[in-house]
């Protein structure tokens, strides 16, 4: 299954009539080698089919040229973009990309980090479930970049929830809604907190009422309970923690014979795959997910370099925009 003997720096060195260190430099430190020598070495290497061993390189240098991304669950299409953006950027930089799932558990997340620590140069943590303190502790030992999560002092990339939530409030207000209900994700979720904060603040500015219900599991299956709770509350407009939940809500509402958006408007977050073809098509807050992943890896790339670039942004906020589809409409006539 594997060749009897791989060619090493020494084979190339002997064949090229130089020292092993020169071969090494020719590959990893081109400018420290005479151009001619280098070309010759590379030619010989090519001829011998030599490829540096990433393992040996990593063992010696301490740099693994590998990074890991940890995601709560791949079943949420929301993460596609982020994963893909991160993978692309990593591969482009010749960095190996490890993907791990945390099963929505802070403990699993922590374990994964410990487990991979020696094999990677850094971590991209997407929607991390760990408490601030744990995260900060880990950051002392490892290179971390957060996506859609912020912890004081740690580099992060987030989609702008404040402005996005304000856009949602404005949209609902302009449709004549006098109040909204936020159907929350897990209470320990940082995003849920951010969204609720921004939503209620926006509602306040608009003189609208705002209520938080939940928590609900941020999945399609959570939509049943969420929809029922919303109906009981008499809401005319609900904002779901994410599109998965929103789609579940739409489904339950349809089962109950409640018209969307005539009787109730529904808004989601993320603009996931399917948000445009569920019925009615979902009004939702879209953000550049792929860019978020790309950007997180970018930060890791510069952070990892010897001289951490103080110029490079350590906190990136990406713009979001509301995609208005068919799940939102004028508030029902209160007279009826």
Partner DNA sequence: GTGAAAGCGCTAACAG
Partner DNA sequence: CTGTTAGCGCTTTCAC
Where does this chain bind its own copies (CB under 8 A)? 1-3, 51, 53-56, 58-59, 62, 64, 66, 74-75, 77, 80, 83-84, 87-88, 91, 94, 96-101, 112, 114-116, 118-119, 141-143, 247, 250-251, 273-274, 277-279
Q: Which of 6, 47, 197, 205 binds DNA (CB under 7 A)?
A: 6
Which of 180, 278 has the CB closer to its own copies? 278
Residue with structure tokens 């349809």? 254
- For residue 71, count CB atoms less than 10 angstroms from its CB and return exposed for 0-12, middle for 13-18, buried for 19 or more: buried
- Cβ 55 to DNA shortest distance, Å: 7
Alpha carbon separation from 89 to 78, 85, 99, 284 (Å, rounded): 18, 6, 14, 27
End-to-end Cα separation, the chain, in angstroms: 76
What angle, rounded to 10 degrees, do the helices at 35-48 and 20-28 form? 100
Which of 202, 293 has the CB closer to its own copies? 293
Residue 84 binding partner per list DNA, its own copies, none, with a CB distance cut-off of 5 to 8 Å that depends on partner kind: its own copies
Residue 279 binding partner per list DNA, its own copies, none, with a CB distance cut-off of 5 to 8 Å that depends on partner kind: its own copies
Q: Which of 46, 47, 49, 56 binds DNA (CB under 7 A)?
A: 56
Return the closest-CA partner of residue 138 out of 107, 110, 97, 102: 110
Using the rule CB under 7 A, is 22 a contact of DNA? yes
Ranges within 35-54 binding DNA (CB under 7 A): 36-38, 50-53
Which of 34, 61 has the CB closer to its own copies? 61
Helical spans, DSSP H, in the chain: 9-16, 20-28, 35-48, 54-61, 78-92, 106-116, 132-141, 161-174, 190-206, 223-233, 243-255, 289-304
Residue 142 binding partner per list its own copies, DNA, none, with a CB distance cut-off of 5 to 8 Å that depends on partner kind: its own copies
Which of 132, 326 has the CB closer to its own copies? 326
Which of 73, 160 has the CB closer to its own copies? 73
Ranges within 61-120 binding DNA (CB under 7 A): 61
What angle, rounded to 10 degrees, do the helices at 35-48 and 9-16 form? 120
With b for 16 or more beta-carbon neighbours within 10 A and e for fewer, the 150-163 pattern comes to bbeebbbbbbbbbb
* Residues found near DNA in the complex (CB under 7 A): 5-6, 8-10, 17-25, 27-29, 31-34, 36-38, 50-53, 56-57, 59-61
């Amino acid at each position: 299954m594997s060749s009897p003997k791989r060619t090493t720096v020494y084979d190339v060195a002997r064949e090229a009539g130089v020292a092993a260190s020169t071969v090494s430099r020719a590959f990893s430190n081109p400018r420290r080698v005479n151009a001619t020598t280098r070309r010759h070495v590379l030619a010989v290497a090519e001829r011998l089919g030599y490829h540096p061993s990433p393992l040996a390189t990593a063992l010696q240098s301490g740099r693994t040229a590998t990074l890991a991304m940890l995601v709560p669950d791949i079943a949420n299409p929301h993460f596609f973009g982020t994963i893909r953006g991160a993978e692309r950027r990593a591969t482009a930089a010749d960095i190996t990309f490890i993907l791990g799932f945390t099963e929505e558990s802070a403990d699993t997340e922590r374990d994964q980090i410990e487990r991979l620590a020696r094999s990677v140069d850094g971590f991209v943590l997407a929607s991390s479930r760990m408490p601030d303190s744990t995260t900060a502790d880990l950051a002392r030992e490892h290179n971390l970049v957060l996506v859609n999560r912020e912890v004081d002092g740690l580099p992060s990339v987030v989609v702008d929830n404040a402005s996005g939530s304000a856009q949602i409030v404005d949209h609902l207000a302009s449709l004549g809604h006098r109040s909204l209900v936020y159907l929350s994700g897990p209470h320990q979720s940082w995003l849920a907190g951010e969204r609720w904060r921004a939503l209620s603040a926006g509602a306040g500015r608009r003189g609208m009422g705002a209520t938080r219900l939940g928590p609900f599991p941020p999945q399609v299956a959570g939509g049943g309970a969420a929809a029922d709770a919303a109906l009981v509350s008499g809401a005319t407009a609900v904002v779901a923690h994410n599109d998965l939940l929103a789609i579940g809500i739409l489904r339950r509402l349809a089962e109950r014979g409640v018209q969307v958006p005539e009787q109730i408007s529904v808004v989601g977050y993320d603009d996931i795959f399917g948000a445009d073809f569920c019925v009615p098509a979902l009004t939702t807050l879209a953000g550049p997910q792929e860019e978020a992943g790309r950007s997180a890896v970018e930060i890791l790339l510069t952070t990892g370099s010897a001289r951490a670039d103080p110029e490079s942004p350590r906190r990136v906020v990406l713009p979001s925009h509301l995609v208005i589809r068919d799940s939102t409409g004028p508030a029902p006539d209160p007279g009826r």
